């Protein structure tokens, strides 16, 4: 959703208040999550892990820096069981197809961009990884911040218009039907300068040599349906 949305002021990166616990540590086993620590490097050092953004039943999501262009991205690391791998490969195929159909119109820009994908081998198996453009908070976290009092009519209209534009692009241009529409799967677009300032500060904090790597298997992060 555009950065000029009235609800955009709510989209502080990873500062969203959530009462959801992190993923269960039992999920870190063969067929499950890939163990990742702050400061880890993936894809031969190209992506450096800055912090954890969220998690879902299928995957965990991490804030990373792409050292090839010094941009920040969202890295989704899928569980390694075969059915999770198949689901990830299907997702990649759909996103690639949508990317090929992408045009400079309102509908195409409402769809998150897949920037890269690769495979990461670890102690729990083979994990499909997807790199996405970095966006802001999901709509559910904004609703929670309002204490479920609801959003303004103008905001709801704006969000609904953009959502319909994205769906029209998927259905009309790409021939794809979205089957899982819900607030958790709708992300807001944070203004570039604002998020860059936040991330630069966080990167500097994580780069402190006095701080040890911490294994982040549980956290009070916003849960993304991954």
Q: What is the pLDDT at residue 22?
A: 76
Q: What is the pLDDT at residue 102?
A: 86
Q: Which of 19, 26, 180, 208 is catalytic?
A: 180
Q: What is the pLDDT at residue 194?
A: 64
Q: Rounded to an integer, what distance in angstroms lies between the CA atom of residue 118 and that of residue 226?
A: 17
Q: Is 208 a catalytic residue?
A: no
Closest among 143, 114, 16, 30 to 80, alpha carbons compared: 30
Q: How far is CA 171 from the centre of its chain?
A: 22
Q: What is the pLDDT at residue 83?
A: 98
Is 15 in a helix, a strand, or coil?
A: coil
Q: What's the predicted TM-score (pTM) here?
A: 0.80
Local mean pLDDT, 10-residue blocks, the chain (226 residues): 43 36 86 96 96 92 94 96 98 95 81 96 98 92 91 94 94 94 90 68 66 44 37
């Amino acid at each position: 959703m555009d950065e000029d949305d009235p609800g955009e002021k709510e989209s502080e990166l990873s500062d969203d208040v959530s009462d959801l616990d992190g993923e269960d540590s039992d999920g870190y086993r063969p067929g499950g999550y890939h163990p990742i620590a702050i400061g880890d490097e993936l894809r031969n050092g190209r992506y450096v892990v800055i912090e954890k953004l969220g998690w879902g039943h299928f995957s965990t999501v991490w804030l990373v820096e792409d050292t090839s262009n010094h941009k920040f991205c969202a890295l989704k690391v899928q569980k390694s069981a075969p059915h999770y791998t198949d689901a990830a490969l299907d997702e990649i195929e759909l996103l690639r197809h949508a990317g090929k159909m992408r045009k400079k119109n309102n509908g195409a820009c409402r769809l998150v961009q897949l920037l890269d994908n690769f495979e990461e081998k670890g102690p729990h198996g083979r994990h499909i990884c997807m790199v996405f453009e970095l966006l802001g908070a999901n709509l559910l976290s904004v609703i929670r911040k309002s204490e479920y009092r609801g959003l303004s009519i103008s905001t709801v209209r704006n969000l609904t218009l953009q959502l319909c534009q994205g769906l029209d692009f998927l259905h009309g241009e790409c021939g794809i039907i979205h089957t899982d529409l819900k607030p958790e799967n709708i992300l807001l677009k944070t203004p570039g300068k604002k998020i860059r300032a936040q991330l630069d500060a966080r990167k500097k904090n994580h780069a402190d040599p006095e701080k040890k790597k911490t294994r982040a298997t549980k956290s009070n992060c916003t849960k993304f349906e991954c």
